[in-house]
Amino acid sequence: MTTLFDRYRLGGLELPNRVVMAPMGRIRATAEGLATPSMAVYYAQRATAGLIISESQQPSLLGQSNPGTPGLYTDEQVAAWRPVTDAVHANGGRIFAQIMHGGRVSHPDTTGLQPVGPSAVPAVGDVFTPTGMQPAPVPRALDTSEVPEQARSYAEAARRAVDAGFDGVELHGANGYLISQFLSSNANLRTDAYGGPIAHRIRFAVEAVAATVDAVGAARTAIRLSPGTDIYGVEETEVPELYAALLAELARFDLAYLHVEATAEEEVLVGLRRAWPGSLIMNPVAPESPKPTDRTAADHWLGLGADLISFGRAFIANPDLVERLRTGLPIAPADRDTFYQGGDAGYVTYPAYQYTAA
């Protein structure tokens, strides 16, 4: 029987366990999108994970969603990430960079630019800005001639990520951001080759992946998806058919892995596991669930065929999460007030489990 603590071969990496640290925005980068020394400490503390997936990094200023997030589009940003990846590797870890283009989930107060999207349809709800939450603005619909450039931006960021020392990249195709917007049936109202029928709506995702594979190789390329999500108001019709078509196209690239969030019924997700021929990372808890992933959920999905399990919030307050899971130690709760406030408190200040003498 497969356990969380079995070794696993992932592309060119040998993982010591099947526990993955999921990507989580912590809003600790500088105003220029640079990684900081505290970020090196934060990730190095969690290097016992089989694999770390970094917080989202924008591939361009236009692609930035939230303030305080790091980027991968300037030489300075690349240089700032090298001490982070070096620290993870020095502690025996492995780390992929998540690349995220926010698309319509952005604001001019954050970037100085009008957000773009598949269509001029705003996201539902508020978005983060430097002065607090504000209603999502109406994005500018990308012209057909502009779409390939946005797809290539993932590949350009991937090259920089490898230069910065990352072991690979994960394209963020989930949670209502740009790739997810193209997959959507209500955010994407296009009538050209990128909208309408399923074969057209998956095209942007496939082109972004293809460009990234060309840039850094399939063994260093992965994608995260959230089938059926409604985050930021996206809707997807014909979810099983949509993702079956997408996975059929992606399967030909022999990617490092597919990372799936539990945003659809279990039957649908199990069907995707059966359809996907490569490595699968499962995140058993939807992003908006009040309960973080635990050992029970992890074991359940390993039993259903997942190869690796990603844990998000549990890693925030438990830098030694792998050991706690292995030995049944208590999982410490995280202080939600410090998730996005900046600074070291609630970031690098959580200790490993403190044993006391009997």
- 3-state class of 314 per DSSP? helix
Longest dimension (CA), the chain: 69
Tell me the CB-side half-sphere exposure of residue 103, using CA atoms within 13 A.
32
> Would you tell me how many other CB atoms lie within 10 Å of the CB of residue 355?
7
Give CA angle at 129 (124, 134), nearest 5°.
40
Distance CA 269, CA 271 (A): 5
Do strands 13-15 and 8-10 pair parallel, antiparallel, or not at all (unpaired)?
A: antiparallel
Distance CA 20, CA 8 (A): 11
b/e for 77-103, b at 16 or more Cβ within 10 A? bbebbebbbebbeeeebbbbbbbbbbb
Q: Which of 177, 194, 257, 350 is catalytic?
A: 177
Distance CA 261, CA 280 (A): 11
Cα 186 versus chain centre, distance: 22
Instruction: Give the C-alpha distances (Å, rounded to integers) separating 161 from 112, 156, 170.
Output: 25, 9, 10
> Would you tell me how many other CB atoms lie within 10 Å of the CB of residue 315?
26
Cα 340 versus chain centre, distance: 17
Tell me the CB-side half-sphere exposure of residue 327, using CA atoms within 13 A.
9
Among this protein's residues, is 347 annotated catalytic?
A: no
In contact, 284 and 246? CB cutoff 8 Å: no
Distance CA 318, CA 336 (A): 14
Catalytic residues: 177
